[in-house]
Amino acid sequence: MARNFSGRGLKDRNAPLWSSLVIRSDRHSVFFSGDTGYGPHFKEMARRFGGFDLVALDMGQYDARWSTIHMTPDEAAQAAVELQAKALLPAHVGRFSIANHARNEPLERIVAASTNKPYRLATPMIGEPLRLGDEGQVFSRWWNNTTKIAASSTPGASH
């Protein structure tokens, strides 16, 4: 239930190429939003699937002109609550910015927006494993360290 335009077709910019994804197993349920704007579809997903262990939500490339197709960090925080998430993983964020904001701004904003929320915010460095169910796993504020980011962005670099 993602909401975005494809921008890939020559005739119809709204041709549906984007989607969200739910993965469920006997032990875990995960929701990946894909590129999407904020809307009532998040409450509908929680109603349909009963909440999620982890939600990965688009929140890193936002602009007022793109409000219907990309969420802000504050909207992603609200969507995580509506999705009844146990953990939120910011998506479409951290490596570079295609929007008119600093590369690390979305992560700083999601940290602030997630204060006192009922979910755990998971901000692993690009390539760092995320252990579902490990409430004690701690993540650094890696996005403020440009040396680590440059190393993680280099093809073939070890992590």
| Per-residue pLDDT tens digits for 39-71 | 999 999 999 999 999 999 988 877 788 777 789
Tell me whether residue 11 is in a domain: no
CA–CA dist 78, 111 (Å, integer): 13
Tell me whether residue 14 is in a domain: no
Tell me whether residue 44 is in a domain: yes
Range of 58's domain?
Answer: 21-153
Q: What is the pLDDT of residue 158?
A: 42
Task: Name the pTM for this structure.
Answer: 0.81
Q: Identify any residues that bridge with 78 across adjacent strands, giving them in sequence order.
A: none
Q: What is the pLDDT of residue 157?
A: 43
pLDDT tens-digit readout, 90-116: 987 866 567 777 778 899 999 999 999
Tell me whether residue 144 is in a domain: yes
User: Distance between alpha carbon 49 and the CA centroid of its chain, in Å?
Assistant: 19
Chain length of the chain: 159
Q: What is the pLDDT of residue 146?
A: 61
Mean pLDDT, range 12-38, rounded to an integer: 81
Which residue has tokens 């469920």? 24
More confident residue, 140 or 6: 140
Q: Tell me: pLDDT of 119 over 70.
A: yes
The CATH number of the domain where 30 resides is what?
3.60.15.10
Question: How many CB atoms within 10 Å of residue 89?
Answer: 20
Q: What is the pLDDT of residue 11?
A: 59
Number of domains the chain contains: 1
